[in-house]
Amino acid sequence: MTLREHEGVTYAQGFRAAAAHCGIRKKALDVALIVSDRPAMAAGMFTRNRCCAAPVIVSRRHVARGTIRGILVNSGNANAATGAAGVRAAETCLKEAAQRLHCRPAELLVASTGIIGVPLPVEKIVGALDGLAAGLSASNGARAAEAIMTTDTFAKQRACSVALRGGTVRIGGIAKGAGMIMPNMATMLAFITCDGRIGRTRWQRMLRHAVNASFNCITIDGDTSTNDCVLALANGASGVAVEKEEEDKVYAALEALCMELAHLIVRDGEGATKFVTITVEGCARTRDADAIARTVANSPLVKTALTGCNPNWGRVIAAAGRAGVAFDPERMDVYFNGVLTVKNGCGAGASKAVLDELFKQKEITIRVVLREGHARATVWTTDLSHEYVAINVAYS
């Protein structure tokens, strides 16, 4: 299976998209519509942030109700911390979109990203709907990917196909995210389409597992957004049923797609200069390995050492030791890009010159090995640079 770099949410049959500039952002595309030509099975993963945004509240409710026809998404305004008025604003946008798509508002999902605490400019979004509905096309997947960007520096889309006995199933997706990234459900915004025929329960289970293996394993700054969601539609337009015995093939493709989109988010992390893989193995439980990996990944001291190309392994073991996991520090090893740097909790005598050159690389793997069991976990992250601070100081 090969991931296609230049295809996205309209690669699957029966899906169209449109994007426009409605005026929320100064110049860029800032509103998109993704539509299935037929009712689609919907699955969703949503932020666990208690201060969740209005679109999360509305879409969570609509996903639970049944089939879905489309997704309306805007950038530049999160419609978060806007109270009951924010929920009404999201519902109004869906009501207006439903009239143009000849479906019920409950058959649409909504997502937003951008500034928190600012009322959603409903009139601007509604004013763009006629053009969006008229412009729906299978050739507009890339424009939809562009319209959901905020501090992203590039649009993120991928697609793939899976050969089953009954024919070929296509899956496509787009995502956005560069900051406020620390998944706790999913993360950022991601929209996935599939033209296979599959039941809603199985589709939701597949999405949950794929998200846990991908989006839930990345962090840029340790902050879980108010608006995070991953929404997936499967419309059956290919006519190919995803039978139980071939579900693993489709799942493998879905996971690979999610993994690639998640990695693109990390590579586009605000101010990031390095792509960092942190693997912890030899733990008693997977959740222990995950806790240590996330603590190391989110440590400002570790992240700034990475920015400064400083192989300060003491910061790694200090972060691991405060993760709330019981282990014997005298049985801990640490490797940087395969170079043994810590042995049994102490420096292993690795060459400083070798480590200095290693830390100048753009991709770094930190491997922490304990001897408490057989569980392991991997988290992907970035370094923390001066540019990250500058971007977020200027964001609003």
- Neighbouring CB atoms inside 10 A of 142's CB total 18
Alpha-carbon separation of residue 357 from 170, 272, 310, 337, 362 (angstroms) = 43, 19, 10, 11, 11
Interacting residues of 131 by C-beta distance below 8 A, sequence separation 6+: 18, 20
C-alpha of 294 from chain center = 16
Q: Which amino acid is at 341?
A: T
Distance CA 156, CA 145 (A): 6
C-alpha of 127 from chain center = 29
φ/ψ (deg, to 5) at 267: -65, -25
- Neighbouring CB atoms inside 10 A of 217's CB total 25
If phi > 0 it is left, if psi is from -120 to 50 it is alpha, else beta; for residue 338 that is left
State which H helix or E strand residue 291 sits in: helix 286-298
| Residues with a known catalytic role | 187
Distance CA 145, CA 352 (A): 43
C-alpha of 317 from chain center = 28
Distance CA 152, CA 63 (A): 27
